[in-house]
Structure 1
Amino acid sequence: MNPTYVFVHGSGSSARAWSTVQQELTLRGHRTIAVDLPGRGAGFSQAYHDQDLETFATEPSALADVTAGQTIGHVIDVVRRVHEHGPVILAAHSFGGLVITAVANAVPDLVSHLVYIAAQCPVRSAAAEYPAGPSWASSELLPAVLPITVGNPAELGFIRLNWRGADKATLERLRAAVCAELTPQQYLGFIAYSQPDEIFWQADPAWDHRVDKATWGTIPHTFVRTTLDRAMPLAAQDLYITEADALTPANPFAVHSIPSSHTGFFREPTALADILVKLEQ
């Protein structure tokens, strides 16, 4: 039976991000579905749209009460339903790697292949420890988002970013950090759909889902490195690969590289699609 590709988005994103990848795969005759994680993809508040900053800073978030268990359980439900119709290739970008790792740990029998596209894959350390380590030192992401961070995530219980409130200099830093291939005008279109709120997973020990050798380790897995990435440096991507391979030497990552920034492959998905379709062979 032909597999179905199940895509999980990264932080500040939604299922919409995968539309170009899905289109490319569909044109090649493949089945796909992209998942909106709980609290994402539901639209924007009036205060965010109007840039009513006083209201926006204090209004509640749909993500405030979303738990790791709910997020992971939602994807498991999708995978279980898709699996009724054939094999599942479960793929994730960035933060989504934490989700698919937990899914694979829980239901390895429902997943035929895992794909990490510049995605987090904790092995030896807690998930939140990696971005604070030396392999992430050159990342330009945190300095870029600090000027648009609204409030204190520790007090709010979630991360809130005012993408539409960035001045010209901040916009340029953000563009350079996550998708330098885009022109400034194209980047404005990109952030038009970026989600303002995100789970404050870094402070939640429930997100400490490291790969389980007995479950995750039995599933074939691929890592797609984004070689022009200034948000998740290559050193960080390679650390996940190295640690996982040391844990499951008989089942190492199949490693591929594409000349892309952290999110540039969404704009031009051909190279990624070339890799994905070969997983069926």
Structure 2
Amino acid sequence: MIPTFVFVHGSGSAAHGWSATQREMAARGHRTLAIDLPGRGAGFTRAYYEQDLETFAAEPSAVRGLTAADFIAAVVDTVHLVRRHGPVVLVAHSFGGLPITAAANALPELIDHLVYIAAQCPVNRAPGEYPALPEWSSSALFPATAPLLVGDPAVRGFLRVNWRGADREQREALRNAIAAEFTEDEFLTVMLTSQPDEVFWLTGPEWDHRAGKDSWGRIPRTFVKLTEDRSMPLAVQDLYIAEGDALTPDNPFDVREVKSSHAGFFRKPAELVDILDELSGRAGAGAR
């Protein structure tokens, strides 16, 4: 049976981030669907585009009030939709690992494979506790984004990052953290399409959806390590893998590597698609 690959984006992104990957997948005969998580795909406000900073700082957010349940439901509903056509492979990048882990807990019998691309996979602690661990200390992402935060996310209830307002030095710090192999001009595309608002998932028990041994742990899974990642260091990726393997030693991660920064593979996805191409046969043969 032919599987459907469902792509789930990370923070600051949307379904369009997978476009090059989907083109490569389509060229090889695969069926794919990239979804917008709640609050995504609506574009930008005029205040953000024109850098009317006073208005931008004060205006409401499309993600305010959204909960973990909303994000999980988006993935669960998609699984139900595409499962009618055959096996389902969930592929997540970065933050997208959180909703696919929760969806796997809810629907283990409907998901045939999980793929984490330098994606969060909480097992032993709440998702928001991981960034405080020593493994995250070398991440270049947090210091690069800190100067661009608008307001206090703990007060506002969401994160707002003024990507468009970054000066050249700040853009260089972000490029180093997110996609160091991009040229300065190539990285401008990332900056101009990044979504400014994100849910504040770092706190609150509602986001505490950890991988479950008897649900998530039943599903075959792959972790694609991004070996040049300066946003989610290799030590963090290895930690998620080790915790998952310890939870279900009889069903460990199939670990692969792609030489890429945190976002570089989006521009040149062939190496990732080689891996997904191989997994397609497994998912189809093992369909439940």
TM interval, shorter chain, is over 0.9
Partner of 2:36: 36
Secondary structure of 1:201 counterpart: coil
Secondary structure of 1:130 counterpart: helix
Distance (Å, rounded) in 2 between the aligned partners of 1:172 and 1:59: 28
TM-score calculated relative to the size of structure 2: 0.97
Partner of 1:188: 188
Distance (Å, rounded) in 2 between the aligned partners of 1:176 and 1:119: 19
Post-superposition CA distance 1:13-58 (Å, at most 9, x none): 1001000110100000000000100101110011001100000001
Post-superposition CA distance 1:196-250 (Å, at most 9, x none): 0000010222111110000000000000000000000000000000011011000
Is residue 18 from structure 1 mapped to residue 18 from structure 2 by the alignment?
yes
Moved over 2 A (4+): none
Partner of 2:7: 7
Deviation at 1:190, TM superposition (A): 1.3
Is residue 164 from structure 1 mapped to residue 164 from structure 2 by the alignment?
yes
One-letter identity of the residue aligned with 2:7 = F
Gaps of 5+ in 2: 282-288
Gaps of 5+ in 1: none
Deviation at 1:75, TM superposition (A): 1.1
Partner of 2:285: none
Partner of 1:231: 231
Post-superposition CA distance 1:176-207 (Å, at most 9, x none): 00000100111111111100000001022211
Question: Taking every aligned residue pair, what percent have the same amino acid on both sides?
Answer: 61
Distance (Å, rounded) in 2 between the aligned partners of 1:203 and 1:58: 23
Deviation at 1:280, TM superposition (A): 2.0
Secondary structure of 2:118 counterpart: strand
Q: 1:17-166 counterparts in 2 under 5 A? A: 17-166=17-166
Secondary structure of 1:116 counterpart: strand
One-letter identity of the residue aligned with 1:65 = G
Deviation at 1:157, TM superposition (A): 0.5
One-letter identity of the residue aligned with 1:21 = T
Post-superposition CA distance 1:109-148 (Å, at most 9, x none): 1100000000000111111111110111100000000111
Partner of 1:264: 264
Secondary structure of 1:256 counterpart: strand
